[in-house]
Structure 1
Amino acid sequence: MNETQVLIAGAGPTGLTLACDLARRGVAVRIVEKEPSTGSRGKGLQPRTLEVFDDLGVLEAVLAAGAPYPPLRSYAGGQVVWEGRMHEPKEPTPEVPYPTVTMVPQWRTEQILRDRLTGLGGRVERGELVDFEQDDDGVTAVLAGGERIRAAYLVGADGGRSVVRKRLGVGFEGETHEAERMLIADVRTDDVDRDHWHIWGDMASQTLHFGLCPLPGTEDFQLTAPLTGDDTPELTLSTFQKIVSEVSDVRLRDAGWMSVYRVNIRMAERFRDRRVFLAGDAAHVHSPAGGQGLNTGVQDAYNLGWKLAAERALDTYEEERLPVAAGVLGLSTRLYRGMSERQAEAYRRGEETEQLGLGYPGASLSVGGEKAGERAPDAPLREGRLFDVFRGPHFTLLAFGAGHAQTVARVNERYGTAVRAYTIGDGDTDLADPAGHARRAYGTDGLVLVRPDGYIGVYDAPVDDYLRALV
């Protein structure tokens, strides 16, 4: 076995999620990043991502750092002309404990994940991957400065301009809209409240002039403004103040991170080349509409982690994630086009962007009845909840009813801590479901095997062959 099992290039949310998942499994992982990212960037965490962060042990810190999206307030000059919401608040349900999209500046999300990685004994190393070669036994990567790292696997989580993807020669099909650009900056002002997302524009044509979104846990607002014309202005406070002053009396007193965003809609032709994998923006880049990019990358990492740790089912990473990424890319593109065409419904967000309905039905690791491949729902138990039972790097077998006690005992004896098996029901069972929430959520009196990434691997079917192949 190589000293380093997995080398990750890129320490954004995708790379950090993967590093945390591998580290908690005891995998020897190294993660390198040229320089830490700054700024708010991708700020929306979807409900499914919150469930991943619950499993990784960072949800409490994420929720403390974030807040629900604030209501929108639109102005004409200094006059409020409209108020509304992009995301409607939702109450938790037994199956969905975190239903509300949460806003957290990306730099803070990354900080929380870095701290978690440190707690697991890992760390982000400063370094830039510039080249690599792979053979039948592993990958030899070269960093700027000449250091060579030998690893069993390499994961390119190094963004839309991925060196890993380019060195593989993997096509990145799609389009870049050079004429559709956005100025973005983290700014400060004392002239608007922090309870609303403030927007100046033409409501009749739904044309944005600029917006100020308060970033929770900071004094900053994320300022966004469409950039017209071919020239790119100097990124300075005075540039942003000039844009703001054209339609408002708001005074900016400070500006930190600033950037020009160009709309890119692209996806890699494949997500794996032998011992090298692509994840996150290295595999797919989205328009900002719908807040899908960061979240899809986190799901890539969550899918790949347990497979790399076991060194099994690695072919299913591309099988499962490429179609999902293609579907999400189509969704974000459709929303973006709707916004560009001033379609009012394109500004509303609902279940389709929350990623709770995404899954792997029909894939090779989805065996049995109709729920195979779906997200495994939560449910309250007499003590705790199902997500407490799932939390960790193991498979979970739920056997509905005391009649499955022998199967549960056999699985626990054979697989030890790799699989945790329980009878569940309202009688003499390991897990008490007195209100029947779990029974209704899963809809079976048989066996349900939940994968380490929280999806149903086997539904109402025998589990022995499945486990022997993967554990």
Structure 2
Amino acid sequence: MELNSVKGMSGQPDTLPTAVDVLIAGAGPTGLALGIDLARRGVRALIVERQDRLSPGARGTGLQPRTQEVYEDLGVLDAIRAVGGDYPVTARWEDGRITGTEVMIERVDPTPAAPHSNAMMVPQFRNVEVLHERLTELGGSVLLATELTDFTQDADGVTARLCTADGTPHTVRAAYLVAADGGRSTVRRALGTGMSGPGRLELEPGAALLADVRISGLDRDHWHRWELPQGGFIALLPLAGTDLFQSMIAAFSEAPDPSPEAVRAAIAAHTHLTAEQVTDVVWTSVFRPKVGLADTFRTGRVFLAGDAAHIHSPAGGQGLNTSVQDGYNLGWKLGLVLRHGAPDTLLDSYEAERRPIAERILDTSTRLHRSRTLRRGRDLHQLDIGYPESPLTRELRTGLPEGALRAGDRAPDAPCHTPDGKAVRLFDVYRGPHFTLLALGDTDLDATALAADPALLRIVRAGGPDPDLIDTDGHLRAAYGDGPAVLLVRPDGYLALAAPAAGATTAVADTLAAYTGTPAPQPAA
């Protein structure tokens, strides 16, 4: 398979569906991650992509540690690691020679609580290939060369009109529509949803040229960078797992010519390389750095996710990661509504949780863009993202020490053992589409009174008289506290509930009832 030329990976079926649970517009990382999450929940989703192939180009290359945790849960992390790698040190060039090097991507040692501790370089075309393969493995598919042209919605669903590869119109009915169709989202524009703040403004005048190229005579041990006298820069990043370099040329006051010849000429004009050394130009794109935040992430039965909801500067590698986590947040909620009878109002929490996060991360990426600093640290890893102010979050304990894990926080990992001595991580326990109830120490939890669907809830006791997990080395205690307490971990790995040991059964039952919309079972007297 030629790099950056993935075509026909999901052909048209003999009969297109006329009804699905969720229609997803766009087969980038956001749409594919959401499709995977829905597929493993038994939700019928249809992904349509207007292009005739999965997205080419390296584009965004950085996968932050939190997204790696998401990918581990979705079952793709091993495959992603196989096609990814570390970022090399940055080499600064002047007058045809390297004048200095620096570590741009700060390295952080892993810990028991955060085993994925560094950004990973994965070309985006490899990213979507891996996600697509996982989607196919779960029985899902992407309809390529299929465009969403129009839609209407009513109280019960969305009626969407599609145009297939041969120009044939097709109508499909869905309970919900998710727009993952990029910064120029057709769906967002059809809704009339505006972009707040500087959303319609460029960060600065000018444009940049991205290209994936093959170059001879340039080492692959450095991320090469040339500062230009008139402002701007050229950077050449050797792409892990390929023989390509990603070229970013930020040197244009007007939209540049994206032709291969122009790419070669621009590299030759601003570096010591000759045009002949650029032996192949595989893909090019012109972009103007912009920022923007959709005024709302939900309109009736239509949701905006990824770049359709927020547009980032590439500085800091935040956009793709925020986008994937949009899909991860929305997927389990759609699953609860469509498969477990939860009320539609649960879906309002998607905007309540994700829009403030997107706004905060937009501020970060915009600050980095304007600062011109190259150093990237752990503050960009997104491990500190949480939902303490979410309407879904309940913290019932009192007197917690400063820095203690609280409801709304990310649930950390911790190596443990089963009673028979088998090593197991908490991330192994959490993996899957279910909630996990973690009972710490000796609680009055009555599991039989909860009567929860095993596909919805798994109960794990750590400590106490009959434990499922043994905290052999104290890592669980270090991450979660001494207890006794009960912690309800959401399917997306955040603490929905933290409650004291006394009255634990009632607290859990009430919380689950809020998610499912069913009356809470009462514990035995």
Normalised TM-score (structure 1): 0.94
Long gaps (5+) in structure 2: 1-17, 398-404, 418-422, 501-506, 517-525
* Matched positions, count: 459
The equivalent of 1:433 in structure 2 is 471
- 1:467 aligns to 2:494 (yes or no): no
The equivalent of 1:134 in structure 2 is 153
Equivalent residues of 1:77, 1:200 under 8 A apart: no
Counterparts of residues 171-190 of structure 1 (less than 5 Å): 171-173=194-196, 174-177=199-202, 179-190=205-216
- Once the two structures are overlaid, the 10-residue window that deviates more, 99-108 or 2-11, is 2-11
Aligned-pair CA distance for 1:351 = 2.1
Aligned-pair CA distance for 1:96 = 0.3
Equivalent residues of 1:10, 1:31 under 8 A apart: yes
SS class of match (1:314): helix
In structure 1, C-alpha distance between the alignment counterparts of 2:448 and 2:79, rounded to whole Å: 37
Aligned-pair CA distance for 1:244 = 2.0
The equivalent of 1:321 in structure 2 is 354
Equivalent residues of 1:237, 1:255 under 8 A apart: yes
- 1:81 aligns to 2:116 (yes or no): no
Amino acid at match of 1:459: A
The equivalent of 1:386 in structure 2 is 426
The equivalent of 2:130 in structure 1 is 112
The structure 2 residue matched to 1:225, chosen from 246, 249, 255, is 249
- 1:269 aligns to 2:295 (yes or no): yes
The equivalent of 2:440 in structure 1 is 400
Let me know the Cα RMSD of the aligned residues.
Answer: 1.7
The equivalent of 1:342 in structure 2 is none
Aligned-pair CA distance for 1:18 = 0.3
Amino acid at match of 1:172: M
In structure 2, C-alpha distance between the alignment counterparts of 1:185 and 1:50, rounded to whole Å: 26
- 1:372 aligns to 2:412 (yes or no): no
SS class of match (2:452): helix
The equivalent of 1:450 in structure 2 is 489
SS class of match (2:406): coil
Amino acid at match of 2:427: F
The structure 2 residue matched to 1:14, chosen from 23, 27, 30, is 30
Long gaps (5+) in structure 1: 340-345
Aligned-pair CA distance for 1:78 = 2.1
Distance 1:84 1:409, change over 3 A: farther
In structure 2, C-alpha distance between the alignment counterparts of 1:417 and 1:130, rounded to whole Å: 37
The equivalent of 2:239 in structure 1 is 215
The structure 2 residue matched to 1:192, chosen from 218, 223, 241, is 218
Equivalent residues of 1:156, 1:276 under 8 A apart: yes
The equivalent of 1:166 in structure 2 is 189
The equivalent of 2:264 in structure 1 is 241
Distance 1:405 1:421, change over 3 A: farther
In structure 2, C-alpha distance between the alignment counterparts of 1:423 and 1:69, rounded to whole Å: 40
SS class of match (2:205): strand
Amino acid at match of 2:326: D
Amino acid at match of 1:28: R
Equivalent residues of 1:408, 1:422 under 8 A apart: no
Aligned-pair CA distance for 1:238 = 2.4
Percent identity over the alignment is 49
SS class of match (2:416): coil
Amino acid at match of 2:408: G
In structure 1, C-alpha distance between the alignment counterparts of 2:262 and 2:385, rounded to whole Å: 41
Aligned-pair CA distance for 1:88 = 1.9
The equivalent of 1:343 in structure 2 is none
